[in-house]
Structures are given as structure tokens and as C-alpha cells.
Amino acid sequence: MKSSGNKLLFDPSAIKDALIIDRDILLRIKQAIEFKLVTKPELYGSPLHGVLRPFWRLRVGDYRVVYKFAEGEVRIFAIVHRKDVYKMLERRL
């Protein structure tokens, strides 16, 4: 795994998630994604468990960015409030 310069890819559902988030919060999330996930997604994120095991999460305030990473790419699947993220992910799978 490359330690820096990962390419970001957004699932269409993550883009839809972003459209309903307050602009100030979305800016914080964007900065966290660009700094943390582009550089070292394995350091800043935490792996999920159970059926969500292949995914990782990045905590940004009350929001969670759910992603997978491999071979220089980070694919973002969801950007959702913490109270809804796991239920929403299970529905999307």
C-alpha cells in the first residue's frame, strides 16, 4: 500500500450523502478526507467488524466516512451521521 498520494474515488451514494450535509460540516469532512485518507488511510481510520469487515471508517465529528483502500486508491462509500451510518450501510450492501 502506498503511504502517500492515494487517488480518491467516490461512490455515487457518497456523493448523494454529501449533498444533504451542512456546508461548514462538509468542508471539515472534505479537509479530513484530503489530508488523512489521501496520505494514510490505514493510520487515521478504523476497520469495521462483522458483515462490514471489508470497510474502514474515518470519524469527523458526528459524521463517519466509510471507505475501502487498496493499491493507491481510496473508494468512499458513505458520508453519514454517526446515528444512521451502520443501518444505512447494511441497506446499501
Residues with Cβ within 8 Å of 92's Cβ and at least 6 positions away in sequence, in order, are 13, 77, 78
Evaluate if residue 5 carries a pLDDT over 90. Answer: no
Confidence band (pLDDT; 50, 70, 90) for 34? very high
Q: What is the mean pLDDT of residues 10-36?
A: 96
pLDDT band at 4 (very low <50, low <70, confident <90, very high): low
> Exposed, middle or buried, 43 (CB in 10 Å: 0-12/13-18/19+)?
exposed
Q: Which domains does the chain have, with CATH numbers?
A: 7-92 (3.30.2310.20)
pLDDT at 30 over 70: yes
Residue 31 has pLDDT above 90, yes or no: yes
Instruction: State how far the Cα of 20 lies from the Cα of 64, in Å rounded to an integer.
Output: 14
